[in-house]
Structure 1
């Protein structure tokens, strides 16, 4: 379990949000599957909302826009969004949108790596990003699925300082990611593994993966990969009613989770 009240170190995943064509319906779906509560940040059915898990902000959910055509986005922390934008271009990527000031909350940037995978960058202001991770309903892991994993990993290293590590039993072409001066992984990167396009897959911790799958299908979602036992826990990949892919995961009893506190 991890709670956080200070800005995330540069390079670490610090936030995720969903851009949905129907935010109100999406809120109902994820409330049914993950037990989420919401704090609306504006008026109307398309208002951006903060996801609340056990009283702490865990993620965001809002409408599609020019920067986010749809689906889940992972944001890596940055101390200087403008410098990150320049580094992304120098590393062979491109700036999709930003940097843009989001009032006192912080600055946001979207960059695409050479494979086309879009990553968000967040320079904290009043909003540090997620205040809770590794608890039921909150983010526990994130994978970058790429058509060119080596190019994506080189981009993440050059722009965000993330190093890649292999490990025994890893699926073909998959590595973990970590900050250069840390030993604990903070995510992973690998081939598409059946994903329709490059991008991040976000994993949410749940107490029962099978129950989450049943709730998702009952609420109008679909199963992309059925529940499966792995060395890292029982997990499944789901698609919400509007096509956004995400994963649910129940960690093995007593298994340590990435410490991002």
Structure 2
């Protein structure tokens, strides 16, 4: 994905975790990734690494399961929200001001997947990406990837390396920005399947159920997966070799699913 601070329309620019117990989540991710946390509201924190903002953490509304949400960069949140509606999606939360930082909204696509819109002002999005401990890839997985491709092309103008079929990389303003592909048993199902990562098993249905999956970079996927277990999380599949590095699908100790992928040092990006 493009470097931090250089986000284009439709590029994943931020990820946010909602959990029932924020303090527990902070302990987990502090130990796993070395994150520190800065309070930004009564029940909201920003996670930082080397002083750069890398993710958000907030208390989940009662009854809502833990999960990660992918935010896509937009130039005009109100305009994109209107495109979401006319393209068959809906708004879970209308565009709203985040004082001194930008505007945000929560949308739901026709597949039922929630994603965020972020119109950056003072903050364009994550200040550090593609480094160990930061997000490096985001992919939309569902039972109907063709419908997903149609929706996101209409809203964000995505182009695809393959116009149909299984797993495809989507491009935003020409940049390879993420993936869209088939989903399988979900993170909360009894038999979750393997397959996180931009490439391995592109036509397999052994992938997470309908959702946006966040992948975090790590220097050593095997060591990180083992650490997940010691912290009370779950390794659902892997680590397995992929053309892009060893990858594992995991759950944190609150039940939120994400992927770990080993990123070679020469492919990492510095904060802009």
* Structure 1 residues without counterparts, runs of 5 or longer: none
1:164 aligns with 2:176: no
The secondary structure found in structure 2 opposite 1:114 is coil
Q: How many residues align?
A: 249
Secondary structure of the residue aligned to 2:38 is strand
Per-residue CA distance 1:75-126 (angstroms, 9 max, x = gap): 0011111111110011111111121112222111111111111111001122
Question: Which position in structure 1 is the counterpart of 2:133?
Answer: 137
Deviation for aligned residue 1:137:
0.6
Rounded Cα–Cα distance in structure 1 between residues aligned with 2:99 and 2:228: 35
1:39 aligned residue: 38
Correspondence for 1:175: 168
The answer to whether residue 192 in structure 2 is matched with residue 193 in structure 1 is: no
Q: Secondary structure at the match of 1:186?
A: strand
Do 1:18 and 1:61's aligned partners in 2 also have CA atoms closer than 8 Å? yes
1:101-140 aligned within 5 A: 101-140=97-136
Secondary structure of the 2:236 match is strand
What SS does the aligned partner of 1:32 have? helix
- Supply the distance in 1 between the matched residues of 2:269 and 2:220 (Cα, whole angstroms): 19
For residues 243 and 150 of structure 2, what CA distance do their matches in structure 1 show?
A: 27
What is the match of residue 147 of structure 1? 143
SS at match of 2:100: helix
Aligned counterpart, 1:223: 235
Question: Equivalent residue of 1:173, what SS?
Answer: coil
Q: What TM-score, normalized to structure 1?
A: 0.88
**What is the aligned partner in structure 2 of residue 13 from structure 1?**
12
- Aligned to 2:150, the other structure's residue is in SS state helix
Give the conservation status (yes or no) of the 8 Å contact 1:213–1:238. Answer: yes
Give the secondary-structure state (helix, strand or coil) at the position aligned to 2:241.
Answer: strand
SS in 2 for 1:194: coil
How many Å separate the matches in 2 of 1:175 and 1:3?
A: 21
SS at 2:80 equivalent: helix
Cα distance in 2 for partners of 1:38, 1:235 equals 26
What per-residue deviation string (whole Å, max 9, x for no partner) do you get for residues 200-250 of structure 1? 111111111111111111111001112001111001010011211001110
Matching residue within 254, 261, 265 for 1:242: 254
Residues 205 and 33 of structure 1, relative CA distance in 2, 3 Å threshold = same
Deviation at 1:2, TM superposition (A): 7.4
- After superposition, the Cα gap between the structure-2 partners of 1:92 and 1:259, relative to the gap in structure 1 and judged at 3 Å, is farther
The change in CA–CA distance for 1:2 and 1:94 in structure 2 (over 3 A counts) is closer
Q: 1:152 to 1:258 in 2, by over 3 A?
A: farther
Q: Where does residue 208 of structure 1 map in the other structure?
A: 220
